[in-house]
Amino acid sequence: MNKVSGVSVALGLTRPLLVRTVPVADPGDLLARLPQSPAFAWIRHGEGLVGWGEAVRLEVPPGQDAFAWARARLATLFAEARIEDELRVPGSGPVAFGSFTFDPRRPGSVLVVPEVVLAKRDGRAWLTTIGGGSPSAVTPRVDPGRIRYEDGSLTAAEWGERVARAVAHIRSGRLEKVVLARDLVARADRLIDVRVLLDRLARRYPDCYTFSCDGLVGSTPELLVRHTGSRIESLVLAGTTQRGADAAEDAARGAALFASRKDRHEHACAVASVREALAPLCSWLQVPDEPELLVLPNVQHLASPITGRLADGASVLDVVAAMHPTAAVGGTPTGTALELIREIEGMDRGRYAGPVGWIDARGDGEWGIALRCAAVSGNRARLFAGCGIMGDSDPEAELAEARAKFRAMRYALEGDAAEAGTPGEPDGAATAV
């Protein structure tokens, strides 16, 4: 056996990874092929990647160099691997799924190379196995049963008071915008099978990126970056309104959002932060002059798609490192907003609003911002929602927006029963369905 050095020894591996990717027939519904929980997933419109088993797990140390550390470890790991890849397309060969904490100073960031990855895209499908990993028989999915909600770190009233404090800081001239997040705890009768949540999310929100990584499950509308060769794509979302009760109200809400001075300014701040982050990495960058309206089942967003071409040698993690956190999840100016979040938000976001996605051995990958998500452990799920606070923000309106954003994960947990909830739910320990 050859001597193995570098990261393999540090990880306790006795030999390089043996990776094989082969083309397969269309597997149909990728999520239906997941044999068990926990599971890894990145799905949009039925295409993407799913994985299971853990060939390698990297616990990323907290600190400002977390992304550089992750890229270096993965580069060494993949360089040492023995790879047989008959396709050599983005997502073939060894793939690491990852999610990072919102605050780089907090622990919890992780990268996992699954033993098995099943993928399909653009009319092609493939299976990647590492070592002895192989497809497994699918075990039955179990519904979580009755869901009870209780307050997270703050009650609704307490969070509304934090919004008012943030508005005061903005009006004083300290900053232009800050994003404040809320959490809510859900407890189920049975252990939560993330495959049930993934299936519901993917069917309900096909335009979003449905993801699962080490217990973090959700369906994010926000693509941080897609890296394919030297081309990158990003989708900036900032500015939100609820859906209307009928087509006329829906159109009116969308028009009001598009005309809203507050929301347009919030969106412009987010676009500017992405442009500033990407420009040094790109030989060219295309940013639209006007946002478009992205309509989802629960909310409407102002959206700006951005494309560019990277300088040679940049990995998708280099782009993620440059972009996170964007103004859409932090605020403007970002440094000042992060200070205020630490001062008044009243909770640890964990991996909520942090980057989540995948990277392959060529540096290609797709990463989103972990929004409309929950951290699942056993029969407990911690749900998250966030709102962009501006100088004219109203606490009650922001509470309503946060409740609308909770609905995605409520539906994932409860299914159709979530539709019976009243608009004010779910706040308070007495709420149950």
C-alpha dist (Å) from residue 424 to 387, 401, 407, 421: 17, 11, 11, 8
Q: Which two structure tokens, joined as six digits, stand for 277?
A: 């982050």
Specify the residue for token string 């909520």: 352
Q: Give the residue from 245, 204, 206 showing the smallest Cα distance to 413.
A: 204
Per-residue 3-state assignment (H helix, E strand, C coil) for 290-304? CCEEEECCCEEEEEE
Q: Which of 115, 120, 222, 366 is catalytic?
A: 222
Cβ–Cβ under 8 Å, residues 32 and 49:
no
Catalytic, 86? Answer no
* Residues with Cβ within 8 Å of residue 67, at least 6 apart in sequence: 100, 317, 318, 320, 321, 324
Separation CA 388–CA 390 (nearest Å): 7
Catalytic, 222? Answer yes
260 in helix, strand or coil?
coil
Cβ–Cβ under 8 Å, residues 108 and 351:
yes
Q: Give the residue from 389, 289, 371, 278 showing the smallest Cα distance to 332.
A: 389
CA 93 to chain centre: 23
* Pairing label, strands 18-23, 82-85: parallel
Cβ–Cβ under 8 Å, residues 426 and 146:
no
Strands (E), 24-138: 40-44, 47-52, 56-59, 82-85, 95-99, 110-113, 116-121, 124-130
Q: Which of 177, 345, 366, 401 is catalytic?
A: 177
Angle of helix 156-171 relative to helix 395-414, nearest 10 degrees, comes to 140
Separation CA 288–CA 265 (nearest Å): 15
Q: Which two structure tokens, joined as six digits, stand for 249?
A: 């109200």
67 in helix, strand or coil?
helix
Angle of helix 156-171 relative to helix 334-344, nearest 10 degrees, comes to 140
Q: Which residues are catalytic?
A: 177, 222
